């Protein structure tokens, strides 16, 4: 039985679905990796020079493309465009990450695709939504716009790109469900700026903003120094906070106690005197949510 005809199963619900991707760099390949894990047959179309991601990080490229068929096509020439159209004739989904103007130049705008392939679902990854889709940008600018940067420090991960990949895989599933209901392919856009804004909501709500409940105000939700490193403590719920206080010799911490500077100072002193091995053992023994880290 060919991969395209496999019957969906509980752990591979997209078996029998063929996804063709033109999306380069990180969000598109990461979305394709998720879709492949759900059972989809994935074909990645790359320009003759290849995907720049391969040059940025070979290991990341290899992981995201495991099990993905890669085809090199020059879409700027008629022969490459014809071969792409043949691929799309047997595809269920097209994933792109080009600007709308670039798609139009290649004859891959939504109207042209739906006229030629009525059942093809299209998911377009763009930088920002609507009229801003032509603007230049990258993960860093979208995180900055969403308020996720602190000072001059670079963010610890490519949050907009990775969240955008998840939203893109979600959009593929939604488009396929819509096609099942209507019989026609659906078109959905995913904006990386929106993905960053989604991740930034806890900060916008004040939860993780500096001084917010999860931004340092709650003594049971902090990173403390220990004797040979650090410990990330997440004793947020009342029963965990009570247990934290008892283990640290402070007595059970009530909700009001967890907002007191004196409690924070006492916990900082207690953690600073203990090595990671002792703290790891205490976490296991008392079912406390903390993780020790190196310096």
* Under 8 Å between Cβ of 16 and 5: yes
Averaged pLDDT, 54-71: 97
Is residue 246 predicted with pLDDT exceeding 80?
yes
Inter-residue contact 190 to 167 (CB < 8 Å):
yes
At residue 3, the pLDDT reads: 45
The pLDDT assigned to 175 comes to: 98
Contact call for residues 89 and 18 (beta carbons, < 8 A)? no
The pLDDT tens digits for 251-289 are 999 999 999 999 999 999 999 999 999 999 999 999 999
Would you list the domain boundaries of the chain? 18-204, 221-293
pLDDT in tens, 165-184: 999 999 999 999 999 999 99
Q: Work out the percent of the chain whose per-residue pLDDT is above 90.
A: 96
Mean pLDDT of the 222-250 span: 98
**Nearest C-alpha neighbor of 140 from the set 128, 126, 154, 130:** 154
Q: What is the pLDDT of residues 1-50, one digit of tens each?
A: 344 467 889 899 999 999 999 999 999 999 999 999 999 999 999 999 99
Name the residue among 70, 75, 25 with its Cα closest to residue 44. 70
Q: Which two tokens stand for residue 208?
A: 């993780």
The whole-chain average pLDDT of the chain stands at: 96
Share of the chain above pLDDT 70, in %: 98
In angstroms and rounded to an integer, the radius of gyration of the C-alpha atoms of the chain is: 24
Q: How far is CA 150 from the centre of its chain?
A: 20
CA distance 198 to 194: 6
Q: What is the pLDDT of residue 2?
A: 42
Give the whole-angstrom CA distance, residue 84 versus residue 182.
25
**Domain over 221-293 is classified CATH 3.30.43.10:** no
> Homologous superfamily of 18-204 in CATH?
Crotonobetainyl-coa:carnitine coa-transferase; domain 1 (3.40.50.10540)
Measured over all CA atoms, what is the biggest interatomic distance in the chain, rounded to whole angstroms? 75
| 217-244 average pLDDT score | 98
């Amino acid at each position: 039985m060919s991969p395209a005809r496999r019957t969906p199963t509980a752990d591979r619900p997209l078996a029998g679905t063929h996804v063709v991707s033109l999306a380069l760099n990180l969000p598109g390949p990461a979305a394709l990796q998720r879709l492949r894990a759900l059972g989809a047959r994935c074909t990645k179309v790359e320009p003759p020079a290849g995907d720049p991601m391969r040059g940025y990080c070979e290991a990341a490229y290899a992981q995201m493309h495991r099990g993905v068929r890669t085809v090199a096509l020059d879409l700027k020439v008629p022969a490459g465009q014809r071969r792409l159209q043949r691929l799309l004739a047997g595809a269920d989904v097209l994933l792109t990450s080009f600007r709308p103007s670039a798609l139009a130049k290649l004859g891959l705008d939504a109207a042209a695709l739906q006229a030629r392939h009525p059942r093809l679902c299209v998911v377009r990854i763009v930088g920002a939504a609507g009229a801003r889709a032509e603007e230049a940008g990258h993960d860093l600018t979208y995180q900055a716009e969403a308020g996720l940067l602190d000072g001059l420090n670079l963010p610890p991960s490519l949050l907009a790109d990775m969240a955008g990949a998840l939203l893109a895989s979600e959009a593929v599933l939604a488009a396929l469900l819509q096609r099942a209901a209507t019989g026609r392919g659906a078109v959905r856009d995913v904006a990386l700026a929106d993905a960053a804004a989604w991740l930034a909501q806890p900060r916008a709500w004040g939860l993780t903003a500096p001084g917010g409940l999860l931004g340092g105000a709650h003594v049971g939700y902090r990173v403390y120094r220990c004797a040979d490193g650090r410990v990330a403590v997440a004793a947020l719920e009342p029963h965990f906070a009570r247990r934290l206080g008892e283990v640290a010799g402070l007595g059970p911490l009530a909700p009001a106690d967890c907002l007191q500077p004196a409690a924070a100072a006492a916990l900082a002193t207690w953690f600073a005197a203990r090595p990671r091995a002792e703290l790891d053992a205490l976490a296991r023994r008392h079912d406390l949510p903390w993780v020790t880290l190196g310096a």
